Amino acid sequence: MTSIQISSAFDSGNIEVLSTQGTTARLKIRRDHCSDFFQWFHFRVSGAPGRSIAGEELVLKITGLNASAYPMGWPEYRACASEDRQFWGRAETSWDGSEDGGTLTIRHTPEGELAWFAYFAPYTMERHHDLISSLSGLEDVDYRLLGTTLDGRPLDCLSMGEGEAQVWLYARQHPGESMAEWWMEGALEVLADPADSVGRELRKRCRFHVVPNMNPDGSARGHLRTNAAGVNLNREWETPSAEKSPEVLAILAAMDETGVDFAMDIHGDEAIPAVFMAGFEGIPSLKAEQKQGYDRYTAILERRTPDFQTKLGYPITRPGKGNLTMSTNQLAERFGAVSMTLEMPFKDHDEAADPRQGWSPERSAQLGKDCMGALLEWFVERERK
């Protein structure tokens, strides 16, 4: 007999229940619609009718993970858990690649009657709408609807600043990388606050265009990596289409109107336990000053915060072999921009590890603020040359 009830019928929810016995459940993750990608999970556990889970150990086994998008992400990973949906800590978690096609076992003893579990702390569409509405009403912050998604959701953009440099910040091309929108909260807290000295100086130098969530359909559906059509948006930047990738088509059209001088694409990485950057070294028209600008920014950021490093990361692409379907490469090639992909971990930033939370929403938001401080220093140094 089961003692628990498991549900994922809510914004960004994703899990399928295979069986339950007592307070133990065998689960699997639903694939992205029209896609083989799966890794994101988000569900809640309560007592079955008439039963309580308070003080009872939950044993939650997510199976079949050897076939997931990034099976190398499961070793040393710890699931996120919350009982109030405000603070997300890390649950006791173990990985066994030989059990039931690869099994992640989560153990948690709740204090109360409800517990939520997720691949990373969710950033819900309701919170997204709260963010947009709270900032769009501010003086000197302009709201623009860039377009609509395949599911009919708005693609929101906030713009601010009166400077000449055109700066684009965008996140959640891959919707399961929810730390990216937490980063956006931190960055926007700096940029939209008239009392923030860093934001004030940046707005003098730049015109910012901020897209906190490029993939609201995938976010709401509980996808890892794709939109409503099962398309990976970060492979659509060379030839986006209204049928498959209207999100990229809309934002690229807006970028063509303004031009792009500096751009950051915000992501999360499953396997590497560190915050790192990926650049555009392989684009056909690479200019020395572009690469120098990228290297200077990463050096500034590494000096400013222990939550960033340059030793771990992706292999550098060979000259002329850059994938122009990816946004960072496309923007560097198309506009001559200094563009970059910021990656945050699903695990932890091991150089400054946090045993209680691992990498967290709070650290993501702080990194957004740190990145804006680094950007101001980057512009000031450029002015002095």
φ and ψ at residue 47, rounded to 5 degrees: -75, 150
DSSP string covering 161-221:
---SEEEEEEE-SSTT-THHHHHHHHHHHHHT-TT-HHHHHHHHHEEEEEES-S-HHHHHH
Q: What's the rounded Cα separation, in Å, for the pair 230 and 335?
A: 28
Here the tokens at position 254 are 């807006």
Closest residue by Cα to residue 343 from 281, 269, 282, 280 = 269
Question: Catalytic amino acids?
Answer: 343
In the DSSP assignment, the letter for residue 313 is S
Please, where are the H alpha helices in 69-196?
Answer: 125-136, 179-191
Closest residue by Cα to residue 320 from 278, 294, 285, 287 = 285
User: Do residues 101 and 63 touch, judged by C-beta distance below 8 A?
Assistant: yes
Other residues' Cβ atoms within 10 Å of the Cβ of residue 96: 14
User: Do residues 41 and 6 touch, judged by C-beta distance below 8 A?
Assistant: no
Other residues' Cβ atoms within 10 Å of the Cβ of residue 17: 16
Q: What's the rounded Cα separation, in Å, for the pair 298 and 81?
A: 32
Q: What's the rounded Cα separation, in Å, for the pair 170 and 212?
A: 6
Helix, strand, or coil (residue 42): strand
In the DSSP assignment, the letter for residue 2 is B
User: Do residues 201 and 373 touch, judged by C-beta distance below 8 A?
Assistant: no
User: Do residues 179 and 344 touch, judged by C-beta distance below 8 A?
Assistant: yes
